[in-house]
Amino acid sequence: MKGLFRSLRPLGSFRSLATASEASSSTLVQPVVDNLPESSTSSVIPGKWTPYTQRTGAIARKRGMTALWDNDGRRWPVTVLQLDACQVVQHTPPPPSTTPTPSSTAHLHTLQLGASDRPEKTTSAQLLGHFRKAGVPPKYEVQEFRVTQDAVLPVGTEISAGHFVPGQLVDVSATSIGKGFQGPMKRHGMRGLKATHGVSLTHRSGGSTGQHQDPGRVLPGKKMAGHMGAVKRTTSNLLVHRIDTALNLIFVRGAVPGSDEAFVSVRDAKKGVVYKAQAGFRKGKEQDKWLGQGVTGLPTPGMSREGAKKAGWEGVVEWAGKGQK
């Protein structure tokens, strides 16, 4: 991790949030938006983000944590995420609906993304054929994301850190660090028993775990000692403090689950972006009020590395600060 931070080049000229949010994604191949579902809104423009646009996420590597200072001099702990050769491997359109009332997700497409190139000699023959068909190198990690039709990316597109705008909120999911078998105090935060006299060798006990003859058993779901960690966890509404399009780095405020070098999935925050923008749209608010934090829109259908270069995102783009544009 220290080696990564040493490799970060000195900061270049900072771009304001308005520059990041107004950058157009027209450098990508525009998706086909014919026959969009009613749930997506009738005013869809190719390449323009709407509150009902569901963009793809990205697969990143957790490189560690550091600290950054904002324009007001406040120190913020941030987690460094790197998009390591994150490419679209497969596109699966939605199946034709056979029911008169299709579900709310029946219209969604599926994009399969892969990250981190791996040697062919360590890849199975089945996976090699799958990646060769897509025309991309073999990948260590593969995940799928559901997207709307106006957010479909072509197969082979490499997603850049510019896919996420500084100032927006993201949800980060990963497998938490395994802690092994732990007691109730560490696993569930119980207070334990008294540490003074009268308690013999049960200071960290969980206390009573059952009742009397009725019900005469330990109820399911009782908080007890057991295996801790190594489960999928999601941290919601993390603010994107800075992006570096040269090194493909995303700096998000706060901690994210998983160990260093672990794969994490990053996507637009469900509560802080999707639901908030849809609520503002229904209330008739102006577009610059949908997301807040000075963010007026998101790159749609996405931002590739080539698109970031053509848009002029050469270097570091940092959030201008609360109340700034």
- Using the 8-state DSSP alphabet, how is residue 40 labeled? G
Is residue 123 pLDDT above 90, yes or no? Answer: yes
Determine contact, residues 69/138, Cβ cutoff 8 Å: no
Q: What is the mean pLDDT of the chain?
A: 83
pLDDT at 13: 34
Residue 130: domain span: 13-34+45-94+107-176+226-315
**What percent of the chain is predicted at pLDDT more than 70?**
83
**218 assigned to some structural domain:** no
Is residue 183 pLDDT above 50, yes or no? Answer: yes
pLDDT in tens, 74-116: 999 999 999 999 999 999 998 887 565 566 778 899 999 999 9
pLDDT band with cut points at 50, 70 and 90 for residue 129 = very high
- Count up the domains in the chain and report the number: 1
Mean pLDDT of 147-153: 92
Determine contact, residues 66/80, Cβ cutoff 8 Å: yes
**What percent of the chain is predicted at pLDDT more than 90?**
59
**Distance from C-alpha of 19 to C-alpha of 297, rounded to nearest angstrom:** 11
Q: Which of 51-60, 181-190, 209-218, 277-286 has the weakest average pLDDT?
A: 209-218
**What CATH number does the domain containing 293 carry?**
2.40.30.10
pLDDT at 271: 94
pLDDT at 135: 93
**169 assigned to some structural domain:** yes
**210 assigned to some structural domain:** no
**193 assigned to some structural domain:** no
**66 assigned to some structural domain:** yes
Determine contact, residues 263/244, Cβ cutoff 8 Å: no
**22 assigned to some structural domain:** yes
Is residue 7 pLDDT above 70, yes or no? Answer: no
Which amino acid type is present at position 43? S
pLDDT band with cut points at 50, 70 and 90 for residue 39 = very low
pTM: 0.81
Determine contact, residues 141/57, Cβ cutoff 8 Å: no
